[in-house]
Amino acid sequence: MMYRIFDIKRYSINDGPGIRITFFFKGCPLSCLWCHNPEGISRTQTRMYTPSKCILCGACVHFCPSGALSVPRRGASGGIRCDASRCTLCGKCAEVCPTKAVEMAARSYTAEQIYAEIAKERPFFESSGGGVTFSGGEPLYQGEPIIPLLDFISEAAARDGYTLHRTLDTTLFAPESLVRETLGRCELYLVDLKHMDSAVHRRCCGVPNEPILSNLRVLTEAGADYIIRIPYIIGVNADEANVTATAAFLSSLPRLPRYVELLPYHDIGKSKHSRMGTVYNPDAVPMSAPSEADLQAAVDIFAKYGVPSKF
């Protein structure tokens, strides 16, 4: 079984307790307007091109087996042209590019290869109480095979004489049966919540929120340990009505989160879309970062409902 991964972050201190290694799995059923990892949305390979690194040597054009690439006309800007309808995402252009102006976003790993990367970080886990985090994209979008992977890494660590702390960073937009199978197989969940109104959620993220809310109830009924993370965006979800609805919902669950973390909006995804040849926020929905006062106002609302929060 191969797992498609588009990034591995070492020494991570924001994806769960301690110092962690975070794997970003390719594929996400959501398509959030503000996505900061748009190269992780498609389940298949993604080609990324950075014109500022391109020296127009023409190697990629020459070696592309599909004839998808062309050199721009003299005087034209924007670098090498790619006809996406002809590109088979074979990756040959990235192999021959001398400057890494072209890169393919994903690599495939076996469970053994994933554990080998985890094992290299063991000294950091032991000194900090860290571990591994599976993120994305959406790690549960890998489907059933994520379950044997969670077992495999835990058993491999036990054979090596240590206990591995496993965190799942998830939208919970997944079949309930799969979410139930993760119970007892990870020690902490980082759950993204975007909006409490399903129609708005569908407009901004491409899918309704009912499965997410229902799966969160499933987790909390089972007593799972979790943190809620909210991308906090003026123009999308940073308003009193949505924060109040979120706080009321969380306070109604059988178990409260450790805390809610408000993550202020940023537009880092813009440059990645440009490298992918796609458009960021195509409908030009106005989005901006909240002020400290906006964030504090949200924290005050969560406090009224007895839900710990921070930013």
Upstream peptide bond of 137 is cis (omega within 30 degrees of 0): yes
What are the residues binding ligand SF4 (CB under 6 A)? 28, 30-32, 35, 37, 40-41, 47, 54-60, 64, 66, 68-69, 80, 82, 87-93, 96-99, 101-102, 136-138, 171, 192, 205
Least Å distance between CB 185 and ligand SF4? 21
40 DSSP assignment: G
| Nearest to ligand SF4 of 157, 230 (CB atom) | 230
| Nearest to ligand SF4 of 164, 233 (CB atom) | 233
Least Å distance between CB 142 and ligand SF4? 13
| Nearest to ligand SF4 of 96, 234 (CB atom) | 96
| Nearest to ligand SF4 of 101, 157 (CB atom) | 101
Give how far the C-alpha of residue 268 lies from the chain's centroid of Cα atoms, to the nearest Å: 13
Least Å distance between CB 232 and ligand SF4? 13
| Nearest to ligand SF4 of 164, 228 (CB atom) | 228
Give CA separation, 98 vs 72, 124, 155, 163, in Å. 19, 34, 41, 42
Least Å distance between CB 15 and ligand SF4? 13
Q: Is 21 helix (H, G, I), strand (E, B) or coil?
A: strand
Beta-strand relationship, 165-170 and 20-25: unpaired
Closest CA to 166 of 209, 191, 130: 130
Q: How many C-beta atoms lie closer than 10 Å to residue 97's C-beta?
A: 20
> Do 189 and 227 touch, CB atoms closer than 8 A?
yes
> Do 7 and 38 touch, CB atoms closer than 8 A?
no
Place of tokens 């409260």: 256
User: What gap in Å lies between CA 49 and CA 303, rounded to an integer?
Assistant: 45
Give how far the C-alpha of residue 134 lies from the chain's centroid of Cα atoms, to the nearest Å: 9
| Nearest to ligand SF4 of 28, 238 (CB atom) | 28
| Nearest to ligand SF4 of 72, 145 (CB atom) | 72
| Nearest to ligand SF4 of 164, 190 (CB atom) | 190
Least Å distance between CB 245 and ligand SF4? 19
Least Å distance between CB 58 and ligand SF4? 5
- CA angle, residues 106, 279, 3, in degrees to nearest 5: 15
Least Å distance between CB 120 and ligand SF4? 26
Least Å distance between CB 174 and ligand SF4? 12
- In what helix (H) or strand (E) does residue 239 lie, and over which residues does it extend? none
Q: How many C-beta atoms lie closer than 10 Å to residue 115's C-beta?
A: 21
